[in-house]
Amino acid sequence: MLDAAFFRRWMSATAAAVDREAARLTDLDSAIGDADHGANLQRGFHAVIAVLEKEAPGTPGTVLTVAGRELVSTVGGASGPLYGTLLRRTGKALGDAAEVNLEQLAEALGSGVAAVSQLGGAAAGDKTMLDALLPAVAALGESFEAGAAAADAGALATVPLQARKGRASYLGERSIGHLDPGAASSALLIAALVEAAA
C-alpha cells in the first residue's frame, strides 16, 4: 500500500530528477519555446519540498494537494498551473484515505490528467505533456515500471509531431523534429514513482 511517506518520496524523487535534468529541459524548451522549462520546474519543486517539510501533510491526498497548490503559486508559465492542476486533482481524487493501492493511484492520476486536458484544451497528439501522461495512466495499473516506460515512449513520440498547443504551436511546422519539454518532464515525474516505490 502507498502511504503519505510514499507520496513525499515521489515528490522528492521528482525534485531530484528535475535538478539533474534541468539543463536538458531548458535546452528542449530553447528549441521550441522560451528556454525556461528547467528553471520553472526547479523553482517549483524546490518550493514543493520546502512546503511539504513545513506543513507535513499526513495523507496521500493532502501531500499532492499541498504540492499542487505550491506549483501553481511559484511557477510562472504554462507548466505551473498545468502541473499544479495535475497534482491537486489527483490528490483530491485520492480523498482522505491513509493508504491507497496502485489501482487507486492510477485512477486518481487519470482524473488529474483529464483536468490538465480540460484546463489547457489539449488532447493526445498535440505535442504536450499529455502525450506522456495519457499513456502513463493507461499503463500504470499494471506496474510503476510499465507506467514509466509508457511515459518515456509517449514523450519520444512527440518528436515528429507538430505542436498544436502552447508556445511551441506558434512555430507551426518548425516545431516538428523536437521533443516536447513538458512531455520530457512528465516522463521524469512518472519515472520518479518507480524510485519512490524502490
Binding site for ligand ADP (CB under 6 A): 29, 33-34, 36-37, 40, 77-79, 82, 116, 120-122, 128-130, 165-167, 180-183
Given the complex with Mg ion, which of 24 and 92 has the nearer CB atom?
24
Given the complex with ligand ADP, which of 65 and 185 has the nearer CB atom?
185
Given the complex with ligand ADP, which of 66 and 78 has the nearer CB atom?
78
CB of 140 to ligand ADP, least distance (A): 19
Helices (H), the chain: 4-32, 37-55, 60-74, 79-94, 102-120, 130-140, 144-156, 181-197
- Tell me which of ligand ADP, Mg ion, none is bound by residue 44, counting a contact when its beta carbon lies within the kind-specific cut-off of 5 to 8 angstroms: none
Position 70 contacts Mg ion (CB under 5 A): no
Nearest residue to Mg ion on Cβ basis: 33
- Closest residue by Cα to residue 148 from 101, 106, 114, 99: 106
Site residues for Mg ion, window 27-66 (CB under 5 A)? 29, 33-34, 36-37
- Burial class from Cβ neighbours inside 10 Å (0-12, 13-18, 19+) for residue 118 reads exposed
- Tell me which of ligand ADP, Mg ion, none is bound by residue 190, counting a contact when its beta carbon lies within the kind-specific cut-off of 5 to 8 angstroms: none
CA 162 to chain centre: 21
Give the three cell numbers for residue 62: 493532502
CB of 143 to Mg ion, least distance (A): 32
Tell me which stretch binds Mg ion (CB under 5 A): 25-33, 41-49, 89-97, 145-153: 25-33
CB of 36 to Mg ion, least distance (A): 4
CB atoms under 10 Å from CB of 170, counted, come to 11
- Tell me which of Mg ion, ligand ADP, none is bound by residue 60, counting a contact when its beta carbon lies within the kind-specific cut-off of 5 to 8 angstroms: none
CB of 134 within 8 A of CB of 113? yes
CB of 188 within 8 A of CB of 36? no
Give the three cell numbers for residue 69: 497548490
Residues of the shown chain interacting with Mg ion in the complex, contacts defined by CB under 5 A:
29, 33-34, 36-37
